Structure formats: structure tokens, C-alpha cells
Amino acid sequence: MSPTSATASSAPTSISERYSRQILFSGIGASGQQKLLASHVAIVGCGATGSASAALLARAGVGTITLVDRDFVEFSNLQRQVLFDEADARDSLPKAEAARRKLALFNSSVVVNAHIADLVPANIHALLASADIILDATDNFETRYLLNDYAVEQRKPWIYAASVGAYAATMNILPVGFSKSQDLATACLACIFPKPPAGPVETCDTAGILSTAVNFAASIQVTETLKYLTGQIDSMRRSLLSFDLWTNTPSEISTAVPDPACTVCGGRIFSHLSGEARPHITLCGRNSVQIHEHHRPIDLGAMHARLSPHGAVRSNDLLLRFERPPHTMTLFADGRAIIQGTTDAAVARSLYARYIGS
């Protein structure tokens, strides 16, 4: 899967001038800045947390940023997703590509790889292999458990982040074997949450969300990333930290020691990475189902002509939007689709088969 890339170009100012205030900070310094410039961070999800974290990393001078996101920009995103504007929403621009364009405007020296894709077991190794650390900015636990499996298998650090309402949470995961010192390893996600939450889970669709909570989580996530990239692992937090910004209520759970009984980091059983029982995922923020079982190239121009007699269609080089009330289908070039207007996977699959093909 080929990324859309922004190639590094000559910066308008010297490194010492652009990052002067950050270099003055004793925790970074000139040597730390050089390490950041040589680093590669992958961010999974370019929504609220992902766009905030990407902006902070690009401004800090992290040399390469890989963005992976399956979604597109809508007007409801603009309240909290800091890299997007009204033009992006009008054009339904894929979030990864919209983020890439915005990052290039304020730091053209950073290389940004934008992947318009759903992170799944089949592509996770190719998309994330070259990253030094992975940042979670997703909206569902299915993808987080997949990330955890991959990171533990590859002994690659990742940082969990979540926010809903006024609540924000982050957790550093330093897998067993990521460093020669076993004392530095932390619990993994499965150590703390052996199974995904049962029953209804609050999302931004049900509980709303404050942009301040998002930026709180992103700020902590990126600060921990800067510590890791500059080699200050012993300064990284070893707890699951959460904070309710509205009630001023903090909470902290130690993650300093991996659970020897954990099936993932202890038993090295990677059920999510093997793709067992991967479901259709209802997306955060709207009444929709993603169909990601068809991986085949789509000629968006030909599909535009085919669908025009059946409803309103608009398309660009990256996606196609087909509206036939009460449903709207967003089709991507790899055959993946988001069906809005239902949460029933059977209905979504039926609509896909009727208009796109089985």
C-alpha cells in the first residue's frame, strides 16, 4: 500500500533557530534535538488526539511521522480536530491526507507518510515496522488490542491515549524485551485490561467530548514520546494516568511491573494479531458501519458514472461519496467503505453488495 508522502525540503531557517526555545530546555538540548530529527513516530488515528499529537511532534522537529487513518473529515470534527478546516470538511478529505497537507505548511522539513487505511492484521507490519514508537489515537479497543499484540510481538514501545467527555487517559507500554534492561519494561494493555470492556462503552457520540480533554491527553502522550526519543526512558511515567478536567479528579494505577500471568506479554499469545473474530467496527461520532472485508482496487471514476443514476455522487482522487437517503456511502480506492445511516452490519453489507458488488 503506497503512502502519500511529503518529501523533506530546505527549511527556511536553521535548525538552531527554528528549535531554539526547545533546545534551551535542559531536557532536550542540542543533542536531544538531533535525536528527534532522526526519529520516526507512527500515529494510528488522525482524529482529535491524533491530529493534536501530530501537530506537536511536527513542531518539535520529529523527522518522520507516519499517519494511519481510515476516516474522512466532517464538519462535526472541527470542534476538536485541530489540523482540519472547513474546506477539508466540504471536500470530505481523508484525514491522513488532510493532516499531511497541514503539517507541511508549518514544518516542511518533516517527512510525513499518510496512509488512508484501516489498520488490520494484514497491513500492520508493513505500516508500522520502521517506526521507533507508536502512538494510539484510535476510537476503539479492537484496534488498541491489535496494536498491543503487535508492539509486544515486535518489542516496540507504544503509548495508549483516550478521551471522552472531559476525561483523558494515557499509559506508556514498554514491552518486555524492548530494552536490554528488563527492569524498564512495563505492563502491557492486556495486563491492565485482560478483556475489552463489556457492555455499552461511552464514546464521543454518546457522551460528547471537550477539545481540552483531547489536548490534555495529546500533550502528555507527546511529552512521554519526547522522553523516549531522546533516550530518557527512566523519566517515563509507569502508570495509567487519568484525569477528569471538569471535576478536577485525578486517578493513577501503577503499570510498573508486567503481569506474569498475562496471555500477551507473558504467554505471547497474539489472538488479535492473528485476526481471530475481527468484527465490523461502528465508528465514533456517527451512526455508521465500516465494511473492510473487500480489499480490491476501485476505479472511482467508473464507479461515479455507475452510481450517478441511483443517487447523489461526488468524488475525488481519494474517495467517493454516494448519497441515497437514509444512507450515505463513502468508498475508498482500496474497496473499503463507510456506510452511514445504520449500525446493522447486515444492512451495511447488503448496501455494499447492491451498489458496489460482492
- On whether the CB atoms of residues 3 and 113 are closer than 8 A, the answer is yes
> What's the confidence (pLDDT) of residue 3?
54
Find the mean pLDDT for residues 261-277. Answer: 91
Structurally, the chain folds into a number of domains equal to 2
12 has a pLDDT exceeding 60? no
> What's the confidence (pLDDT) of residue 197?
76
173 in a structural domain: yes
If asked whether residues 335 and 220 sit together in one domain, one would say: no
Examine the fold and report which residue of 230, 254, 278 is the final residue of a domain before the chain moves on.
254
Give the domain CATH number at 318: 3.30.310.10
Find the mean pLDDT for residues 219-232. Answer: 98
* Residue-averaged pLDDT of the chain: 91
If asked whether residues 215 and 324 sit together in one domain, one would say: no
260 in a structural domain: no
> What's the confidence (pLDDT) of residue 7?
45
- On whether the CB atoms of residues 326 and 311 are closer than 8 A, the answer is no
If asked whether residues 173 and 305 sit together in one domain, one would say: no
286 has a pLDDT exceeding 80? no
* Grid cell of 357 as nine digits: 458488488
| pLDDT band of 17, cuts 50, 70, 90 | very high
Examine the fold and report which residue of 238, 254, 270 is the final residue of a domain before the chain moves on.
254
If asked whether residues 250 and 302 sit together in one domain, one would say: no
If asked whether residues 246 and 142 sit together in one domain, one would say: yes
Find the mean pLDDT for residues 216-243. Answer: 97
CA dist 184 → 64, 119, 128, 135, 258 (Å)? 26, 28, 22, 19, 10
273 has a pLDDT exceeding 90? yes
8 has a pLDDT exceeding 60? no
If asked whether residues 95 and 51 sit together in one domain, one would say: yes
Between 279 and 250, the higher pLDDT residue: 250
32 in a structural domain: yes
259 in a structural domain: no
1 has a pLDDT exceeding 50? no
Examine the fold and report which residue of 254, 269, 296 is the final residue of a domain before the chain moves on.
254
If asked whether residues 173 and 293 sit together in one domain, one would say: no
Q: What percent of the chain is modeled with pLDDT above 90?
A: 78
> What's the confidence (pLDDT) of residue 139?
85
262 in a structural domain: no
Q: Which domain holds residue 77?
A: 4-254
Q: What percent of the chain is modeled with pLDDT above 70?
A: 92
276 in a structural domain: no
If asked whether residues 208 and 307 sit together in one domain, one would say: no
- On whether the CB atoms of residues 114 and 100 are closer than 8 A, the answer is yes
| pLDDT band of 302, cuts 50, 70, 90 | very high
Bridging pattern class, strands 167-173 and 239-244: antiparallel
Could you report the per-residue pLDDT of 321-352, keeping only the tens digit for each? 999 999 999 999 888 999 999 988 889 989 99
Handedness of CA 40, 42, 46, 52 (dihedral sign): negative
> What's the confidence (pLDDT) of residue 283?
64
Q: Indicate the pTM of the whole model.
A: 0.88
If asked whether residues 146 and 207 sit together in one domain, one would say: yes
Could you report the per-residue pLDDT of 61-76, keeping only the tens digit for each? 999 999 999 999 999 9
29 has a pLDDT exceeding 90? yes
Give the domain CATH number at 245: 3.40.50.720
> What's the confidence (pLDDT) of residue 358?
72
- On whether the CB atoms of residues 14 and 37 are closer than 8 A, the answer is no
275 in a structural domain: no
If asked whether residues 77 and 189 sit together in one domain, one would say: yes
CA distance 307 to 323: 10
CA distance 196 to 174: 20
Could you report the per-residue pLDDT of 118-161, keeping only the tens digit for each? 999 999 999 999 999 999 999 888 899 999 999 999 999 999 99
Please write down the long-range contacts of 21-29, taking CB distance under 8 Å and 24 or more positions apart.
22/60, 22/61, 27/226, 27/227, 27/230, 27/232, 27/235, 28/226, 28/230
If asked whether residues 77 and 155 sit together in one domain, one would say: yes
338 in a structural domain: yes
11 has a pLDDT exceeding 70? no
If asked whether residues 229 and 339 sit together in one domain, one would say: no
Could you report the per-residue pLDDT of 74-133, keeping only the tens digit for each? 999 999 999 999 999 999 999 999 999 999 999 999 999 999 999 999 999 999 999 999
* Grid cell of 92 as nine digits: 470530505
> What's the confidence (pLDDT) of residue 230?
98
Could you report the per-residue pLDDT of 177-205, keeping only the tens digit for each? 998 777 899 999 999 999 887 655 677 76
